[in-house]
């Protein structure tokens, strides 16, 4: 009887794990999604290594691209506009 209970518990745990994993895979955050300016950053994309601005979770801020991030004139900033990180002139 103990083996049957153990087997059922393992099956249920595996099903829960599968459901949670599928949910996480389907709820990936968009690279440009933001709710406030602090959610945005500029640097290099953590996956591609290219100069990039977007959600700070996808940006390596320790590896900057000065001309790309701030512009040659230094007046570009990254802002959260309509839940999307955008580069604007200030």
Residue 66: predicted pLDDT: 87
Q: What is the pTM for the complete model shown?
A: 0.67
14 pairs with which residues across the strands? none
pLDDT digits (tens, 9 = 90+) for 55-76: 999 999 999 998 999 999 999 9
Residue 3: predicted pLDDT: 73
Domain ranges of the chain: 37-89
> What residues of the chain score a pLDDT lower than 50?
17, 20-27
Alpha-carbon span 64 to 61, nearest angstrom = 6
Residue 53: predicted pLDDT: 97
Residue 27: predicted pLDDT: 46
């Amino acid at each position: 009887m103990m083996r049957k209970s153990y087997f059922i518990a393992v099956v249920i745990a595996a099903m829960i794990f599968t459901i949670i994993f599928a949910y996480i895979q389907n709820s990936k955050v968009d690279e440009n999604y933001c709710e406030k300016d602090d959610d945005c950053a500029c640097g290099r994309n953590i996956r591609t290594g290219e100069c990039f601005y977007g959600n700070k979770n996808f940006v390596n801020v320790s590896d900057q691209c000065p001309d790309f991030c701030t512009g040659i004139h230094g007046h570009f900033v990254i802002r959260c506009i309509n839940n999307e990180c955008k580069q604007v002139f200030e």
